[in-house]
């Protein structure tokens, strides 16, 4: 849960950074606690405080924490890699999906081969029925990367980002610890 910092008379990280008084209704206070100064510094550097204020004001209160965490994630990615930002990570992950899909297709082909040979040898022939059919990536939800970004200049940004509590995406959000098990250095 987001905690308001100005209830303890300590200005939030945003107001501290902007050198202004942190008022009781401060829109930043619940999401930029004073003990995380870097979070706001990055967001301000990339998006600007006024843009973030505008963005948060256009959202429902329950959406704001996730929005701030995703902005902080993007901002840190852009600070680490000024050319590609999050797109470097997306490109890396897309290639990982593609590679895994190829491996899965090959494994399924292998299994089909074993299924046929075991059937021919008189063993039960239902092994193939157990195989998962690979689910295609939901491309309609993924805007095409155009051009496809090379990762030559991209730095590893995944799993090194600010972490919060997550929301409707649950534990799979990049700033949450859960389920971050895929290989690679991202």
Near other proteins in 111-130, by CB under 8 A: 111, 114-115, 117-118, 121-124, 127, 130
The distance of closest approach from Cβ of residue 94 to other proteins in the complex, given in angstroms and rounded to an integer, is 6
With binding defined as CB under 8 A, does residue 24 bind other proteins? no
With binding defined as CB under 8 A, does residue 169 bind other proteins? yes
Cβ-based nearer residue to other proteins, 9 or 50? 50
CA distance linking residue 100 with residue 116, whole number of Å: 24
3-state DSSP assignment of residue 119: helix
Which residues neighbour 20 within 8 Å (Cβ) at sequence distance 6 or greater? 11
Burial class (CB in 10 A: 0-12, 13-18, 19+), 181: exposed
Cβ-based nearer residue to other proteins, 7 or 60? 60
Cα–chain center distance at 18: 28
With binding defined as CB under 8 A, does residue 165 bind other proteins? no
Residue ranges in 35-94 that form contacts with other proteins under rule CB under 8 A: 46-48, 50-51, 55, 58-59, 63, 66-67, 70-71, 73-74, 78, 82-90, 93-94
3-state DSSP assignment of residue 46: helix
Query: Which residue bears the tokens 């704001």?
Result: 64
Question: Which of 57, 7, 45 lies closest to 29, judged by CA?
Answer: 7
With binding defined as CB under 8 A, does residue 2 bind other proteins? no
With binding defined as CB under 8 A, does residue 173 bind other proteins? yes
The distance of closest approach from Cβ of residue 132 to other proteins in the complex, given in angstroms and rounded to an integer, is 4
């Amino acid at each position: 849960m987001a905690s308001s910092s100005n209830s303890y008379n300590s200005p939030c990280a945003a107001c501290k950074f902007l050198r202004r008084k942190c008022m009781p209704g401060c829109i930043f206070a619940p999401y930029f606690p004073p003990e995380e100064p870097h979070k706001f510094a990055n967001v301000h550097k990339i998006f600007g405080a006024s843009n973030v204020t505008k963005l948060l004001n256009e959202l429902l209160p329950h959406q704001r924490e996730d929005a701030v965490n995703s902005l902080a994630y993007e901002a840190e990615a852009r600070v680490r890699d000024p050319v590609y930002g999050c797109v470097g990570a997306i490109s890396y992950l897309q290639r990982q999906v593609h590679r895994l899909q190829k491996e899965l297709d090959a494994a399924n082909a292998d299994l089909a081969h074993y299924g046929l040979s075991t059937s021919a040898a008189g063993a039960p022939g239902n092994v193939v029925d157990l195989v998962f059919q690979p689910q295609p990536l939901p491309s309609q939800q993924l805007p095409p990367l155009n051009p496809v970004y090379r990762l030559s200049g991209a730095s590893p940004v995944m799993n090194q980002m600010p972490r919060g509590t997550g929301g409707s995406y649950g534990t799979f959000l990049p700033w949450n610890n859960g389920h971050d098990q895929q290989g690679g250095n991202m």
